[in-house]
Amino acid sequence: MRKSRLLGLIVLGTALWTGCEHATKSPKSLETPSPAQAAKPKPQAPPAHLPKDAVQGDFDGDGTAEYVWLVPPEVTGEMECQGGCTSYLRFSKAQFPAIAKEDCIGGTPTNLGDLNGDGGDEIGLLPEWFVSCWMDYFVFTYRAGQWAPLVPHFPTHCDQWENDVKPIEKDPTKKGYVLVRYSVLADSSIVVKTKSVAVR
Ligand SMILES: [Ca+2]
Ligand SMILES: [Ca+2]
């Protein structure tokens, strides 16, 4: 009888102790969200009337998120599309003009975050094509009602994508610059190079 009571106390004590520890831990983790969480709300799934792969971002920096998605051409044969092999980036915000991308049969836009510090997120696009592992990477920024290249488009190879090399990010050492990672063929091998580029 005594033994089982003692056991019960031990169980109760353990439960209280772990319960307390849990209680002291959880408010702390709530108080200190990561800087990314604090700055931006979590991306929401696109509304039902938009494509499922639509990507959320605040591309004009007005504090309200919108969506971007790619509309590919209808591929009719080897290197052929109905009406030309041009894809369009389209937006949920009516004021945004579509971005036409020639020689592109697919691809998913990426929200790259705000790379030039103007408050709006930049959009990256790796176009898909019928052949070749070499594709230029494009980065668009919204300015005065137009889409403009943030940096000149740069060559990438599928090796760099398979190795998860980040194509572009803010240069932590130089304000107003980004680090661009591009691929080149050097002595019959493909190498990734990095350069710091001024943003517009
Ligand atoms: Ca916006
Ligand atoms: Ca920006």
Torsion of CA 65, 97, 107, 68, to 10 degrees: 10
| Predicted confidence (pLDDT) at residue 101 exceeds the cutoff of 90 | yes
pLDDT tens readout for residues 4-28:
554 454 444 444 444 444 444 444 4
Strand order in the sheet with 189-198: 168-170, 177-186, 189-198
pLDDT tens readout for residues 171-198:
999 999 999 999 999 999 999 999 999 9
Share of the chain above pLDDT 90, in %: 76
Residue 41 — very low, low, confident or very high, per pLDDT cuts 50/70/90? low
Q: Is residue 156 part of a domain?
A: no
The CA 15 to ligand 1 mean position distance, Å, reads 49
Query: Residue written as tokens 């041009």?
Result: 86
The CA 76 to ligand 2 mean position distance, Å, reads 37
Residue 47 — very low, low, confident or very high, per pLDDT cuts 50/70/90? very high
**Which of 124, 122, 131 is CA-nearest to residue 103?**
131
The CA 194 to ligand 1 mean position distance, Å, reads 31
Q: Which structural domain range is residue 87 located in?
A: 34-150
pLDDT of amino acid 76: 97
Residue 110 — very low, low, confident or very high, per pLDDT cuts 50/70/90? very high
Residue 43 — very low, low, confident or very high, per pLDDT cuts 50/70/90? confident
Tokens read off for 55: 């990507």
Report which secondary-structure segment, H or E, holds 2: helix 2-31
As residues whose CB is below 5 A from the ion ligand 1, the structure lists 58, 60, 62, 64
**Which of 23, 61, 27 is CA-nearest to residue 141?**
61
Q: Is residue 112 part of a domain?
A: yes
The CA 65 to ligand 1 mean position distance, Å, reads 5
pLDDT tens readout for residues 73-87:
999 999 999 999 999
Q: Is residue 4 part of a domain?
A: no
Domain total of the chain: 1
**Which of 94, 138, 140, 134 is CA-nearest to residue 121?**
140
Q: How far apart are CA 200 and CA 197, in angstroms?
A: 10
pTM of the predicted protein model: 0.79
**Which of 145, 147, 125 is CA-nearest to residue 136?**
125
pLDDT of amino acid 11: 47
Q: Is residue 155 part of a domain?
A: no
Query: Residue written as tokens 């990438």?
Result: 156
The CA 14 to ligand 2 mean position distance, Å, reads 52
- The residue ranking higher by pLDDT, 194 or 36, is 194
Q: Is residue 181 part of a domain?
A: no
| Predicted confidence (pLDDT) at residue 135 exceeds the cutoff of 50 | yes
The CA 118 to ligand 2 mean position distance, Å, reads 5
Q: Which of 29-33, 38-42, 174-178 shows the lowest mean pLDDT across its residues?
A: 29-33
- Cβ burial, residue 5 (10 Å; 0-12/13-18/19+): exposed
Q: Is residue 71 part of a domain?
A: yes
**What mean pLDDT value characterizes the chain?**
86
Query: Residue written as tokens 């980065």?
Result: 139
Q: Is residue 85 part of a domain?
A: yes
Tokens read off for 9: 């106390």
Q: Is residue 54 part of a domain?
A: yes
Helices and strands: H and E segment counts in the chain:
3, 14
